[in-house]
Amino acid sequence: MPTRSDIIAMDGEEQLQISWRIEDETPEVMAASVRDLATNMSSNSQVFIGLEASQLREVKSMLLSELAFNRLNIHATGYWKKGMDADRFNSDKKRNPL
């Protein structure tokens, strides 16, 4: 999340473990932050991630290879790519899925 004001309420929050990472408040690399959370989770947990494209590749790879999460339980979306406008990113994503 860019700022705390971007956080939204989510249905079912009481049954979910939601962890928001605020860009200005999270000095560590995103993969390290996710690793800290995921290390204490079952590898069969459902994981939903929305990140910048290059961060997504790194985090998804870490969950699969390092922490042995079930590929079918990882729901990951690259929402943007640094240095690329939305139209170009969406077109690129169709040709080369994350």
41: left (phi over 0), alpha (psi -120 to 50) or beta: beta
For residues 52-81, give the mean pLDDT.
Answer: 91
Sign of CA dihedral 24, 27, 29, 30: negative
Question: pLDDT by residue (tens digit) across 34-59?
Answer: 898 899 999 999 999 888 888 888 89
Domain ranges of the chain: 4-95
The DSSP symbol for 8 reads -
* pTM, full prediction: 0.71
